[in-house]
């Protein structure tokens, strides 16, 4: 088992991944933000999203080494409602991949 101090220690990689994922979430909700949330509400929501993503990444990172992390992940997974749809790729990502790879995501970049 991994010591709690190692699990709770900041992980630069997990933090960078959380920032990236939070930006994807934030950009995906931009239209919703303008229709339903003030800038002040968004300012409050952004760190909640970042911290939750970072926590989830850290828990997954230590899933097989920590009973606490495993318990946290398993509990969160049990909370996922049956009515949630399976995730789909965002249109911006799909378009970018197709544009940059000429419609073939396996095609290597020239140059």
pLDDT in tens, 20-74: 999 999 999 999 999 999 999 999 999 999 999 999 999 999 999 999 999 999 9
Predicted local confidence at residue 11, as pLDDT:
86
- Bigger pLDDT: 97 vs 111: 97
Residues constituting the chain = 111
Q: How far apart are the first and last CA of the chain?
A: 47
Q: What is the dihedral angle through the alpha carbons of 7, 5, 65, 10, rounded to the nearest 10 degrees?
A: 20
Asked if residue 97 lies in contact with residue 105, where contact means CB atoms within 8 angstroms, the answer is yes
């Amino acid at each position: 088992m991994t010591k709690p101090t190692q699990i709770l220690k900041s992980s630069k990689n997990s933090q960078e991944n959380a920032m990236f994922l939070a930006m994807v979430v934030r950009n995906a909700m931009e239209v919703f933000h303008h229709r339903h949330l003030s800038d002040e509400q968004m300012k409050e929501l952004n760190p909640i999203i970042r911290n939750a993503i970072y926590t989830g990444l850290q828990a997954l990172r230590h899933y097989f080494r920590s009973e606490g992390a495993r318990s946290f992940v398993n509990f969160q997974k049990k909370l996922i409602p049956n009515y949630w749809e399976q995730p789909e790729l965002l249109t911006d990502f799909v378009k970018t991949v197709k544009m940059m790879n000429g419609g073939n995501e396996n095609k290597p970049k020239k140059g």
